Amino acid sequence: MADAVRFEVHGLVALGDRLEGLQYDMKRKGGRFALRKAANVIRDKAKANAKRIDDPTSAADISENMAVRWSGRHFKQTGDLKFRVGIMGGAGGRANSEALAGLPGGDTRHWRHVEFGTEHTRAQPFMRPALAESIQAASEEFVRQYHKSLDRALKRAAKASQ
């Protein structure tokens, strides 16, 4: 039977602490920054699609109400990062029309009818194709921005350890 070999490595606790700090920094700061940049790629494509189908005679402009929003509730519940790309005013429901008219593009609650159609009008999707057409570009942008954030975090960690 082989003799047991015992050894101790000193400094792993400090390394673990640094990695934990780096993980926090990357998830909370770098990851959120990179994910927002990726969501902006999708938002820009959806804006372009909405401008293409916009009715110039209408006061409402769906592309002006396009927004990227952080989902804090999802993050608190799951710990996962999430941004939503959507239209300000959303479904609106029984919201005050005067309040929605104050949005940059006006009251655009009708965007769902344009996107999905009704029994009287055909669908003119602009959000779903924006995601389908820009998913590769958004993924590449996320990776590019996350690498930049990782490099910055490693540089800060190296500077802090000196």
In 3D space, the residue among 37, 36, 102, 32 whose CA is nearest the CA of residue 64 turns out to be 102
Tokens 């909405």 belong to: 50
- Residue 43 CA from chain centroid, whole number: 9
Helix (H) or strand (E) holding 54: none
Does some domain include residue 92?
A: yes
In a domain, 146, yes or no: yes
Report if residue 80 sits inside a domain: yes
Residue 16 CA neighbour count, 13 Å, CB half: 5
Q: Report if residue 1 sits inside a domain.
A: no
pLDDT in tens, 45-96: 999 999 998 888 888 888 888 999 999 999 899 888 889 999 887 776 666 6
Counted domains in the chain = 1
pTM over 0.85? The answer is: no
pLDDT tens per residue across span 4-53:
444 344 444 654 565 566 666 666 788 889 899 999 999 999 999 999 98
